[in-house]
């Protein structure tokens, strides 16, 4: 799922191409993608784009007259930009969910998944817009006190707390792994178990990780709209996310994982958990007593 750095870059790229221009029309090859009825999406036609901003992991396009188009990419939704008018009703083939035509070009919403979760909403007024806000604080601009308060609101694992949109805005599976590795904290530590210094360390790691990756993506695209396959949760320069079995860039030990449902958490046992392996739901239940408890046991050291 595109997270804060990715969505920020999407917003900036779209804003540079559309703010001040008029919206012309919407083509919806997949009608289910539009999840609202009033106001109709046709009411946006002819209106000027006033701003493009991020609301959690959502992209919000504000139009004249206090109308808003909310784009939620969910897991597999992606955006493509094309100059002029599209050459076909479905520029990205069967993956095309919507084509939004502006004076300066067209925006294509795609979803390469059989589970169609990406969505569009059109709402009128700020109050209606804020109903789509999960309510989490902005981690990149939060103070240590605000961060600690949001963290301690519930006694959850750090992984669950960071990815809870009601606590923190825009953090998902990928960047939570990177943040926890930078903070040298186990993903299964409970929030109420953190010392004041550890909470501050996590706050610093969160701000620095999100800021660093947002800047890196800005430099990578350098004014270009992110192309097909360029917004991904698996980046070669990540420290641990998606790096199961690869050496940790800090200590060189193999990156570990915890698999659950359709997701997995990646971590370094040595850097984040004093060398202890965390139980993997699938493998540890199968192997039981044969499941290694430390890196040394796993490597036979």
Q: How do residues 216-271 score in pLDDT, each as one tens digit?
A: 999 999 989 999 999 999 999 999 999 999 999 999 999 999 987 667 899 999 99
Quick check: 97 and 30 in contact, CB under 8 A? yes
Q: In terms of residue numbers, what domain contains 243?
A: 144-299
Residue 260: per-residue pLDDT? 73
* Number of structural domains the chain divides into: 2
**CA-to-CA separations, 64 to 12, 51, 128, 240, in angstroms, rounded:** 19, 9, 15, 43
Report the range of poorest mean pLDDT among 57-61, 83-87, 167-171, 259-263. Answer: 259-263
290 lies in the same domain as 184: yes
Query: Minimal CA–CA distance to 173: which of 50, 57, 78?
Result: 57
250 lies in the same domain as 213: yes
pLDDT band at residue 115 using 50, 70 and 90 as cut-offs: confident
150 lies in the same domain as 286: yes
Residue 169, token pair as written in the block: 């805005």
177 lies in the same domain as 266: yes
Establish if 135 belongs to a structural domain: no
Quick check: 50 and 63 in contact, CB under 8 A? yes
166 lies in the same domain as 242: yes
For 155-169, give one letter per residue: b (16+ CB within 10 A) or e. Answer: ebbbbebbbbbebbb
- pLDDT reading at 294 higher than 60: no
Whole-angstrom Cα Rg for the chain? 21
pLDDT (average), residues 19-33: 96
Distance CA 266, CA 147 (A): 23
Residue 299: per-residue pLDDT? 38
Residue 1: per-residue pLDDT? 84
Cβ contacts of 228-233, under 8 Å, gap ≥ 24: 228/78, 228/80, 228/92, 231/2, 231/6, 231/9, 231/10, 231/78, 231/79, 233/1, 233/3, 233/172, 233/173, 233/174
CATH number, domain containing residue 47:
3.20.190.10
pLDDT in tens, 155-168: 999 999 999 999 99
Residue 261: per-residue pLDDT? 63
Establish if 136 belongs to a structural domain: no
- pLDDT reading at 99 higher than 80: yes
């Amino acid at each position: 799922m595109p997270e804060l750095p990715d969505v920020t870059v999407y917003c900036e790229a779209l804003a540079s191409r559309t703010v001040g221009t008029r919206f012309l029309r919407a083509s919806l090859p997949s009608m289910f993608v539009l999840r609202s009825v009033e106001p109709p999406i046709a009411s946006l036609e002819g209106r000027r784009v006033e701003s493009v901003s991020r609301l959690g992991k959502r992209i919000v396009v504000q139009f004249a007259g206090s109308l808003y188009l909310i784009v939620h990419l969910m897991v597999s939704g992606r955006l493509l930009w094309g100059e002029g008018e599209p050459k076909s009703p479905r520029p990205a083939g069967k993956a095309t969910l919507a084509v939004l035509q502006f004076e300066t070009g067209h925006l294509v919403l795609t979803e390469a998944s059989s589970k169609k979760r990406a969505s569009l909403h059109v709402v009128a007024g700020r109050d209606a817009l804020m109903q789509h806000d999960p309510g989490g604080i902005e981690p990149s601009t939060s103070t240590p006190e605000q961060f600690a308060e949001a963290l301690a609101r519930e006694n959850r694992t750090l992984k669950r707390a960071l990815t809870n949109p009601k606590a923190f805005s825009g953090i998902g599976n990928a960047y939570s792994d990177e943040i926890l590795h930078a903070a040298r904290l186990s993903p299964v530590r409970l929030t109420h178990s953190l010392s004041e210094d550890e909470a501050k360390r996590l706050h610093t790691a969160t701000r620095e990780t999100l800021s660093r990756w947002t800047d890196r993506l800005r430099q990578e695209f350098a004014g270009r709209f992110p192309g097909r396959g360029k917004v991904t949760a698996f980046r070669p320069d990540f420290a641990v996310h998606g790096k199961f079995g690869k050496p940790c860039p800090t200590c060189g030990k193999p990156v570990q994982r915890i698999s659950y449902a359709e997701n997995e958490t990646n971590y370094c046992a040595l850097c984040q958990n004093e060398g202890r392996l965390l139980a993997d739901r699938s493998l540890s239940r199968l192997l039981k007593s044969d499941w290694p408890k430390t890196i040394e046991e796993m490597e036979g050291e």
